[in-house]
A = this chain, B = another copy of it.
């Protein structure tokens, strides 16, 4: 894994066959082509804080783990020091690593986790559970202020599907398994979990559960918290175990205390998940809508009529323009064909290419369901003015669906600040919120001296509402990059809460969203979480500094306690 960016060392984003991409980005962000690229500092240049050794703890570990289950080399510590938010990567690329775990341990079974947690309790050592390290909300950053030794608990060796019940369609799974390996093991039984977040290749079941993740097929399979029947979580107060039943009425649902706990209560070791037969039919394709409103209305009608495809990813005009900029080099014949299609769409169908919205659609299932949903949803899309674009946009999406996060390294090389913020709200709030949030992000970026780029897509839909996923980019404000990021992030989050949204639909709280948690949960809701933390982790060893706010939550950002110097203090 790259210590400074997304994915494996040998894989990176390649624009050599995308002649429109950099011209598009440099134009919208007004970036001079002569601006020198920036690269991460070399591995050797990175200075990590000295290792704190709690010898009694290490001795206890030595008694229960093999030597190859413990690492404190620089690379291991660095890889486990942060997630993949802009703030994480900008600091890593600049060699600014003020906190890193003092060692990394690799449990091979629940008994190892129990031993590690016991030793940590006894010797007052901080533990940070680590799945794939892809979190972008600051969930992984060591935050302990009391100077204790900090240990990253990498779950990657607990990667087995322990059993599959094909009759009940459930699977008992260790939480350290990565997406592809999980699907490979389930596939041997002819089933799938159906959970495909953008981070799929590099993230784990335990990470998904700890952060209430959503995959790109959530409309069919649900969010991760909808799929879990039971789980096991090792806490400082013992191992919490729930029963494998579809539903129950056993007082407060303690399963829901574990899901979303982001490592602050304990370590998830196993879960029984519902699984599904692998679909016999599957197809990806594209539709084009006149504008964002009509596309959203079409999705909403599909929800109402019970004919929602497994994917309906509707891009707004900004995101649509970016998608078109990804087009690859074509043969002269195909170029001509493309021009003809564009003429037809513009002149015959009246599409305005500044406002139109691309929707990627996927249908899957058995023969009857696949064809019914495909046909009924197409009727709804046509009713709302949608134009069928055929299989090509779907194929492009399918090919590259897990590659999008690599783009951030590409743009950071090119001096761009880019990240995402996402939320969910009711259908009635959706379009007013979209307009206000986009305006707020654009204004905030403009405050920082850059032209703004903002895109948005809708990809998770529910009976009563949907999510909005914003991507934003700006020319980096040299010397004030983190302040700039906070200024923009704050504009987005403030706008979410002002408009009846949630601080995050599926990216967790971590430390980056802590400034908004009290507004989100109400002070009494925060008190409830604090009570749980106090009850299950009285020594405060489990991933401290996450979810729960301190007196000045903005200090989580590593900025002055007075908050970031605002770029435009006059504007609310």
Tell me if A405 is interfacial: C-beta within 8 Å of chain B: no
Write out the residue numbers on chain B whose beta carbons fall within 8 Å of the beta carbon of A257: 252, 256-257, 528
A326 CB, nearest partner CB in chain B, Å: 28
Asked if A535 and B536 sit within 8 Å, CB to CB, the answer is no
A369 CB, nearest partner CB in chain B, Å: 6
Asked if B256 and A253 sit within 8 Å, CB to CB, the answer is yes
> What is the size category of the interface that chain A forms with chain B?
35 or more
Asked if B535 and A245 sit within 8 Å, CB to CB, the answer is no
Write out the residue numbers on chain B whose beta carbons fall within 8 Å of the beta carbon of A235: 524
CA distance A244 to B462 in the complex (A): 13
Write out the residue numbers on chain B whose beta carbons fall within 8 Å of the beta carbon of A366: 305
Asked if A252 and B260 sit within 8 Å, CB to CB, the answer is yes
Asked if B247 and A214 sit within 8 Å, CB to CB, the answer is yes
* CB contact between A245 and one of B251, B425, B513, B524 (< 8 Å): that residue: B425
Given A251-B262, A257-B252, do A238 and B524 touch, yes or no (CB 8 Å)? yes
Asked if A520 and B243 sit within 8 Å, CB to CB, the answer is yes
Asked if A524 and B428 sit within 8 Å, CB to CB, the answer is no
Chain A 505-540, CB-CB to B under 8 Å as 1, else 0, gives 111110001000100111111011111101110000
Tell me if A169 is interfacial: C-beta within 8 Å of chain B: yes
Tell me if A185 is interfacial: C-beta within 8 Å of chain B: no
Write out the residue numbers on chain B whose beta carbons fall within 8 Å of the beta carbon of A505: 245, 247-249
Tell me if A435 is interfacial: C-beta within 8 Å of chain B: no
Given A170-B464, A243-B500, A535-B527, do A426 and B165 touch, yes or no (CB 8 Å)? yes
Asked if A467 and B247 sit within 8 Å, CB to CB, the answer is yes
Asked if B464 and A520 sit within 8 Å, CB to CB, the answer is no
Asked if B168 and A247 sit within 8 Å, CB to CB, the answer is no
Asked if A252 and B247 sit within 8 Å, CB to CB, the answer is no
Asked if B520 and A527 sit within 8 Å, CB to CB, the answer is no
Residue in B closest to A502 when the chains form the complex, CB atoms: B248
Tell me if A261 is interfacial: C-beta within 8 Å of chain B: yes
Tell me if A246 is interfacial: C-beta within 8 Å of chain B: yes
Write out the residue numbers on chain B whose beta carbons fall within 8 Å of the beta carbon of A169: 427, 463-464
CA distance A212 to B253 in the complex (A): 9
Tell me if A237 is interfacial: C-beta within 8 Å of chain B: yes
CA distance A460 to B536 in the complex (A): 34
Asked if A464 and B260 sit within 8 Å, CB to CB, the answer is no
Write out the residue numbers on chain B whose beta carbons fall within 8 Å of the beta carbon of A233: 524
Tell me if A259 is interfacial: C-beta within 8 Å of chain B: yes
CA distance A517 to B242 in the complex (A): 11
CA distance A214 to B246 in the complex (A): 13
Chain A 212-232, CB-CB to B under 8 Å as 1, else 0, gives 111000000001010001000
Tell me if A35 is interfacial: C-beta within 8 Å of chain B: no
Asked if A306 and B503 sit within 8 Å, CB to CB, the answer is no
Tell me if A274 is interfacial: C-beta within 8 Å of chain B: yes
Tell me if A211 is interfacial: C-beta within 8 Å of chain B: yes
Asked if A170 and B426 sit within 8 Å, CB to CB, the answer is yes
CA distance A262 to B251 in the complex (A): 7
Query: Which residue of A264, A525, A536 has the most chain B CB atoms within 10 A of its CB atom?
Result: A525
Write out the residue numbers on chain B whose beta carbons fall within 8 Å of the beta carbon of A368: 305
* CB contact between A504 and one of B246, B249, B252 (< 8 Å): that residue: B249
Write out the residue numbers on chain B whose beta carbons fall within 8 Å of the beta carbon of A520: 243, 248, 250
A450-502 interface with B by 8 A CB criterion: 460, 462-467, 497, 500-502
CA distance A522 to B254 in the complex (A): 10
Tell me if A167 is interfacial: C-beta within 8 Å of chain B: yes
Asked if A536 and B509 sit within 8 Å, CB to CB, the answer is no
Write out the residue numbers on chain B whose beta carbons fall within 8 Å of the beta carbon of A497: 243
Write out the residue numbers on chain B whose beta carbons fall within 8 Å of the beta carbon of A547: 251-252
CA distance A225 to B226 in the complex (A): 12
CA distance A250 to B503 in the complex (A): 7
Asked if B524 and A531 sit within 8 Å, CB to CB, the answer is no
Asked if A240 and B528 sit within 8 Å, CB to CB, the answer is yes
22 residue pairs A–B, Cβ–Cβ below 8 Å? A168-B428, A169-B427, A212-B249, A225-B253, A235-B524, A237-B527, A240-B521, A240-B525, A244-B426, A245-B425, A245-B501, A247-B506, A249-B504, A249-B505, A249-B506, A250-B521, A251-B264, A251-B517, A251-B547, A253-B260, A257-B528, A527-B536
Chain A positions within 8 Å of B, measured between CB atoms, are 165, 167-170, 211-214, 223, 225, 229, 233, 235, 237-254, 256-257, 259-262, 264-265, 274, 305-306, 366, 368-369, 423-429, 460, 462-467, 497, 500-509, 513, 517, 520-525, 527-532, 534-536, 547
Going nearest first, the 7 A-B pairs with the smallest beta carbon separation are A531-B535, A256-B256, A248-B502, A246-B462, A168-B426, A246-B465, A240-B524
